[in-house]
Structure 1
Amino acid sequence: MSDHGGSIQEMLATNLRRARTQRGLSISELSRRSRIGKATLSQLESGNGNPTIETVFSLSRALELPVSDLLDSRPPGGPTVVRAADVEVLSGEGVDLRTLRRIETGDTIFEVYDQQFRADRRQESLGHAGTEHTVVQSGRLSLDVGGQEVELGPGDYVYFDASLPHRYLAIEGTVRSVLLLQYRSDQRPHPQAPHSTPRPPS
């Protein structure tokens, strides 16, 4: 995620094929688990698809791996500045995500995203691996996690078990926030395996 040399389509194609093959899953079985059509999966694996946030997070849930395992390229060799203009946006029904950084420390993996919710639009997730952390920077955001609703304003922070169904709604203008996804390394099937490059996520 920190090396943005490849497109989201290219990186997702490479990593999706690898993850599916490692698990011995057919396109049909992955389609059943992810609720994504076989034709769409075939397009994604060939690099011709147009992945949405919903698609990537459904694949993360179905394959039981962090989003960055689908969207990551090799880590950089030195200091890296991520310029907003250089990062592709992954869009969903109500949110635009820009992947900023993947951090591995001890037995924990963190993914850092710039997250912008569009006014009066809902963003729903059936749930995915990890713990989700959100810090609101501007606007007001409603979050429903498993039927429990909270409202967040600038400076507010929330975290929750991301495997629970959850829904965001920008209730006051466009909402800017930082999203941090946290995983244990054992939530990855092959924690020691190098990430495929290049690559390209909830």
Structure 2
Amino acid sequence: MTQPISIIAKALVRERQRTGLSLAEISRRAGIAKSTLSQLESGNGNPSIETLWSLCVALDIPFARLMEQEVSTSQVIRFGEGPSVTAEMAHYKAILLATCPPGARRDIYQLITQPGEDRHSHPHSPGSIEHLIVTQGRALVGPTDSATELNPGDYICYPGDQPHVFKALEPNTHAILISEQN
């Protein structure tokens, strides 16, 4: 399981610098100790969802921005893996798979596929990104020259502006496809 603290640490520093506010001011606005924020920015600690929400409010950013990773190539997240946070008072775990950049458009598709003829896609518009989660069966998915085998629950993100393929490896393979264009 990927621990998000290093991702969160970089995002906290980046977003605090973007606002031009001091460590003390963000701590005050979030209602947390300055030492806690300092530790989090250093990549130490295990913040709860509640602490992260407070920081997001203080920084005036959406929650997911704290866990954004720059993705310029394919990204695969296996079922149950990925940056995650847990709640203090409930049996609740949130695993971030992807965020939507400002001004982007997303189309969501349900795929129902069978083995046989592979689905080869030509490059879409520049900057296009595709996100796919296999929900049943197995498939080979991604850029034509580096497709990855996925099982139920696995996630992949890859550039849609490059040639890519979807190949069902089992009968009745199902997936959710999210096509994102800027």
When normalised by structure 1's length, the TM-score is 0.46
Aligned equivalent of 1:18, options 11, 14, 19: 14
1:97 aligned partner:
94
Change (3 A) 1:105 1:22: closer
Change (3 A) 1:62 1:108: farther
Structure with higher RCO (Cα < 8 A, 6+ apart): 1
Alpha-carbon distance between aligned partners in 2 of 1:49 and 1:37, rounded to the nearest angstrom = 13
% identical equivalent positions = 37
> Following TM superposition, by how much is the alpha carbon of 1:19 offset from its aligned partner in structure 2, in angstroms?
1.1
Consecutive unaligned residues in structure 1, runs of 5 or more: 110-202
Summarize deviations over 1:90-122 as a string: whole Å, max 9, x none.
11121211112212363679xxxxxxxxxxxxx
Alpha-carbon distance between aligned partners in 2 of 1:26 and 1:104, rounded to the nearest angstrom = 26
Bigger Rg over Cα: 2
Summarize deviations over 1:98-147 as a string: whole Å, max 9, x none.
112212363679xxxxxxxxxxxxxxxxxxxxxxxxxxxxxxxxxxxxxx
Q: Which has the higher strand share?
A: 1
Between Structure 1 and Structure 2, how many residues are aligned? 104
Matches within 5 A, 1:1-202: 7-78=3-74, 80-92=75-87, 93-94=89-90, 95-104=92-101, 106=103
Q: Which amino acid aligns with 2:73?
A: G
Alpha-carbon distance between aligned partners in 2 of 1:18 and 1:65, rounded to the nearest angstrom = 12
> Following TM superposition, by how much is the alpha carbon of 1:27 offset from its aligned partner in structure 2, in angstroms?
1.4
Matched position secondary structure for 1:104: coil
Q: After alignment, is 7-16 or 96-105 more displaced?
A: 96-105
Q: Which amino acid aligns with 1:7?
A: Q
Q: Which amino acid aligns with 1:102?
A: T
> Following TM superposition, by how much is the alpha carbon of 1:24 offset from its aligned partner in structure 2, in angstroms?
1.6
The runs of 4+ residues in structure 1 deviating greater than 6 Å are none
Alpha-carbon distance between aligned partners in 2 of 1:26 and 1:13, rounded to the nearest angstrom = 15
Q: Which amino acid aligns with 1:40?
A: T
Change (3 A) 1:105 1:63: closer
